[in-house]
Amino acid sequence: MTAIKTVGVAGSGTMGAGIAIVAARAGFKTIVYDTRPEALARARKQTEGFFAKSVERKKLTQEQVDRILADLTATTEAAGLAACDIVIEAVFEDLKVKHGLLEALNRVCPPHTIFASNTSTLSITEIAAGSGREDRFVGTHFCLPAQLMKLVEMSPGLKTSDETFQTAWDFCKAMGQVPVKTKDNPGFILNYFLIPFNNDAIRLVEAGVAAPADIDRAIKTALGYPMGPLELLDLVGLDTHLLVAEALYAATHEPRAAVPALVRRMIAAGRLGRKTGGGFYTYSGNAMFGG
């Protein structure tokens, strides 16, 4: 059982849209907040496409999808999240941006509302310090793509109460996710390994060792990964990878976390990945990974 009934997701990018799908699919009333109407419209279209594939693959019925979509709404006003029991922020990996968002949410959300962060590299304690409710703040890092991956890395900040952490833990399990507890440490578990690994794959491309498709094929075939590192980078977005890698490098000074020069060149050329139609691969359309 969980005390949480209504879920807010702040940010309607790839991660935010995926988290909203997870919550709504589990039967929670879910509200997505973004100041950009066009971003919300794009996320809604992608979400409907995702669920259409779920029906095609007979994972859900059309009736189930209709109920899910009816409980999944959007707002361009922070006040639209006032009825939420938990709000998960999924915005840029920038401490000032997150603090600005949380300050606005703290003004409109009631005292019982838990704030959670989907950050993959920043300190939960530092983010919580700008939330106005450090005891009711917790890290909930979903894996990309959230609507397909089960793992959630859960990290308490220094002031997170035991009650808050347990409530968020029970909520993750109620969504059908698999939570693991981590220390508030740069990169937590996954990105501690994944960011340097992905940078190594980029360096292979940069050095002309092999083409992206061959690197991904080798990793998937030999290591059993469902997705190659360069496919994953295109899904994440090269601009997002830059932010998280810079944050990890700043916190750890690990040389392998430093972003290869090729990433900045690709960003300058507008090759961010799936969302721009091209990154390490070329894409048609703006589809979200289907279920």
CATH number assigned to the domain comprising residue 109: 3.40.50.720
156 and 257 assigned to the same domain = no
> Does the model's pTM come out above 0.95?
no
Q: Which of 130, 158, 181 is the last residue of a domain?
A: 181
Band (pLDDT 50/70/90 cuts) for residue 286 is low
- Is residue 74 domain-resident? yes
The β-bridge relationship of strands 151-156 and 137-142 is antiparallel
- Domain that residue 47 falls in: 6-181
196 and 95 assigned to the same domain = no
Q: Which of 181, 204, 235 is the last residue of a domain?
A: 181
Q: What's the pLDDT tens digit per position in 72-109?
A: 999 999 999 999 999 999 998 889 999 999 999 999 99
25 and 130 assigned to the same domain = yes
Band (pLDDT 50/70/90 cuts) for residue 1 is low
Catalytic residues, by residue number, are 120, 141, 153, 191
- Buried b or exposed e, range 106-133, using 16+ CB within 10 angstroms: bebbeeebbbbbbbbbbbbbebbbbbbb
Q: Residue 243 contacts by C-beta under 8 Å, 6 or more apart in sequence? A: 92, 93, 94
